[in-house]
Structure 1
Amino acid sequence: MIRFDDVTKTYMRGQHPAVENLDIEFTRGEFVFLVGASGSGKSTLMRMVLKEVAPTRGTVYVAGKDLSRIPSWKVPALRRDIGMVFQDFRLLPSKTAYQNIEFALAVIGTPRKVVRRLVPEMLEMVGLEDKGKRLPHELSGGEQQRVAIARAYVNRPSILLADEPTGNLDPATAGGILDLLAEINERGTTVVMATHDRTAVDRMHRRVVEMVGGLVVRDEERGTYATPAPVSVISGNLPDDSGHREDHPLEDAQDGTDTEDASAESSAAADDSRGDLSVADGTGSASSPDDVLEEDLIDEREALQVRDEDLLLEDAFAEEPVVSGPSLDETEEERR
């Protein structure tokens, strides 16, 4: 399903590689946790799967296809078979839960009859069948993440990438999100989840791949977050030598998530494999090269139109009345 053959990625000459000599395979139907300190290469690995950045050396295969041989105009089609879930949800704030999911179908020309069937199915699957008319700010964090997962899965992708999907959630809510991802995995979708969530990894007992300084140092079936393996940094068995991160720091000071530095972004933006897909991220500000929300959903003929979200959706959606919802601070019992 996903294979890396001797893959190295260096963003700038003279820097420590973000990923080095990577030889690993994720088979169809697997659930894999990627763990490691910030700057270990997890996000770069995911970006190469999305063909958002290209390896400096080596070959990446997705669904049997050599990504280096896929032209830029075919990248949107590739990404439609890869769902992506983020820590910060990245929902369109002016659209209801129903419309956020509908958007993923409308922009690829799905017939309205099919949309009307699939969206309610997705809302029911994620346990939000009665909240389709609520805006994101009217939903709790866990509910927003469920909408984001439904949007990522509505096209039934063969691969689902999740970058810290439980990072902003309390333990109980995070458990529900893990159960949802496990259900999607049981339906045949390969799930690769990058996380620092010790509880999540220990609870699931799935395959665990640990990265340190761009290298895979541990690959365990039914693993746990900590390990006695001497090569593990997150277990405290090996010093966290993060000096090379000055070359490409991945720690975001705002939220602690993995992001590439400015030099990596500029280098990636110049890569032909990205194509001309820079679009608005749905928050009213221009998206950075790291943002792939719209890139996952929009084919090339619509990439420019989506800069004006309201114009794109004017014909695609029939506006529905918004149901006033509770504040985020209310408990479920108070809402009832």
Structure 2
Amino acid sequence: MIRFDDVTKTYMRGQNPAVENLDIEFARGEFVFLVGASGSGKSTLMRMVLKETAPTSGTVHVAGKDLSRIPSWRVPALRRDIGMVFQDFRLLPSKTAYQNIEFALAVIGTPRKVVRRLVPEMLEMVGLEDKGRRLPHELSGGEQQRVAIARAYVNRPSILLADEPTGNLDPSTAEGILDLLAEINDRGTTVVMATHDRTAVDRMRRRVVEMVAGRVVRDDAHGTYESVAPESVISGNLPDGAEDLDAQALADPETDHRDSTDDAQRSPDDRPGRQAGGSHRVPHDGDDLLDERDAHLREEDEAFAEDLHDPESAR
């Protein structure tokens, strides 16, 4: 389903690679946790799956396709088969829960008859069938994340990438989100989740891949967050050198996105993009991982707003 063959990614000449000599495969239907300290390469890995950035050397295969052979005009079609869930939800604030999910279908031209069937199904699946008319600010953090998951999954992608999806949630709510992702995985979707959530990893006991300085140092079939592996940074077996390799993405001409998961762990003064005088770029303005649907949601919101029908009137 996802395969990296001797992949190295270097953002700036002369600097350490963000990912180095990566050889790993995620099989169809797997649930994989990506763990590691800040700058370990987790987000670079995800960017390459989304074809937001290309490896410096080596090849990346997704769903049987060599991404280096996919022309740019076919990338949107590739990304429609990859759902993306973020730590900060990325919901359109002026649209209801129903409309946020509906919008993800509208931007790819889904017929309205199909939309009217799929959106209620998704709201029911995430346990929000009675909250379709609520705006994001009227929902709790856990409910907003459920809407975001429904939006990412509404096209039934074969792959779902999740970047710290429980990072802003309390433990009880996070447990519900993990159960929802497990249900999606049980339906056949490959789930790859980057996380610092020790409780989630220990509870699920799924495959755990730990990265340190762009290399895989641990790959446990039914792992826990901490490990006896001598190269594990998160277990305290190896000092964290405070390397922030993913921050090098700022200098990559292909993308100026940042690692939202790792960036959240830094103090404001340490974050990439901080400029003299105290100004810095806000992650919501496009510095994080982006999938095609999220790009459409932000760029075309106003253009589509008048065209979207009232979801409640169709009921």
Q: 1:286 to 1:24 in 2, by over 3 A?
A: closer
- Tell me the residue number matched to 1:65: 65
Q: Residue type of the partner of 2:70?
A: I
**Helix, strand or coil at the partner of 1:60:** strand
- The Cα of 1:64 is off from its aligned counterpart by 0.4
Q: 1:246 to 1:64 in 2, by over 3 A?
A: closer
Greater shift in the superposed pair: 88-97 or 312-321: 312-321
The answer as to whether partners of 2:18 and 2:246 remain within 8 angstroms in 1 is: no
Q: Give the distance between the partners of 1:190 and 1:14, measured in 2 at CA.
A: 35
Q: 1:291 to 1:195 in 2, by over 3 A?
A: closer
The answer as to whether partners of 1:40 and 1:214 remain within 8 angstroms in 2 is: yes
**Helix, strand or coil at the partner of 2:216:** strand
Aligned pair count?
294
Deviations 1:192-221 (A, max 9, x none): 000000000000000000000000000000
Q: Give the distance between the partners of 2:192 and 2:271, measured in 1 at CA.
A: 19
- The Cα of 1:296 is off from its aligned counterpart by 3.2
| Pick aligned residue for 2:302 from 293, 310, 318 | 310
Q: Give the distance between the partners of 1:248 and 1:97, measured in 2 at CA.
A: 35
Deviations 1:107-151 (A, max 9, x none): 111111110010000000000000000000000000000000000
- The Cα of 1:309 is off from its aligned counterpart by 1.6
- Tell me the residue number matched to 1:290: 288
Q: Give the distance between the partners of 2:161 and 2:289, measured in 1 at CA.
A: 14
| Pick aligned residue for 1:255 from 264, 283, 305 | 264
- Tell me the residue number matched to 1:48: 48
Deviations 1:92-115 (A, max 9, x none): 000000000001111111111110
- The Cα of 1:238 is off from its aligned counterpart by 1.1
- Tell me the residue number matched to 1:235: 235
Identity %: 77
Q: Residue type of the partner of 1:27?
A: A
**Helix, strand or coil at the partner of 2:37:** coil
Q: Give the distance between the partners of 1:108 and 1:136, measured in 2 at CA.
A: 23
The answer as to whether partners of 2:126 and 2:147 remain within 8 angstroms in 1 is: yes
TM-score by length of 1: 0.82
Q: Give the distance between the partners of 2:246 and 2:304, measured in 1 at CA.
A: 41
- The Cα of 1:159 is off from its aligned counterpart by 0.1
**Helix, strand or coil at the partner of 1:237:** coil
**Helix, strand or coil at the partner of 1:5:** strand
Q: Give the distance between the partners of 1:87 and 1:307, measured in 2 at CA.
A: 20
> Are 1:140 and 2:121 an aligned pair?
no
- Tell me the residue number matched to 2:277: none
Q: Residue type of the partner of 1:311?
A: A
Q: Give the distance between the partners of 1:169 and 1:43, measured in 2 at CA.
A: 20
Q: Give the distance between the partners of 2:13 and 2:240, measured in 1 at CA.
A: 24
The answer as to whether partners of 2:41 and 2:246 remain within 8 angstroms in 1 is: no
| Gap runs ≥5 in structure 1 | 264-282, 322-336
- Tell me the residue number matched to 1:18: 18
**Helix, strand or coil at the partner of 1:3:** strand
| Gap runs ≥5 in structure 2 | 250-257, 275-281
Q: Give the distance between the partners of 2:154 and 2:34, measured in 1 at CA.
A: 24
**Helix, strand or coil at the partner of 1:21:** strand
Q: How does 1:29-108 map to 2 (within 5 A)?
A: 29-108=29-108
The answer as to whether partners of 1:48 and 1:60 remain within 8 angstroms in 2 is: yes
Q: How does 1:163-182 map to 2 (within 5 A)?
A: 163-182=163-182
The answer as to whether partners of 1:260 and 1:290 remain within 8 angstroms in 2 is: no
**Helix, strand or coil at the partner of 1:248:** helix
Deviations 1:31-62 (A, max 9, x none): 00000001000000000000001001100000
The answer as to whether partners of 1:83 and 1:153 remain within 8 angstroms in 2 is: yes
The answer as to whether partners of 2:247 and 2:259 remain within 8 angstroms in 1 is: no
Q: 1:289 to 1:76 in 2, by over 3 A?
A: farther
Q: Give the distance between the partners of 1:291 and 1:211, measured in 2 at CA.
A: 18
Q: 1:247 to 1:138 in 2, by over 3 A?
A: closer
Q: How does 1:256-271 map to 2 (within 5 A)?
A: 256=265, 261=272
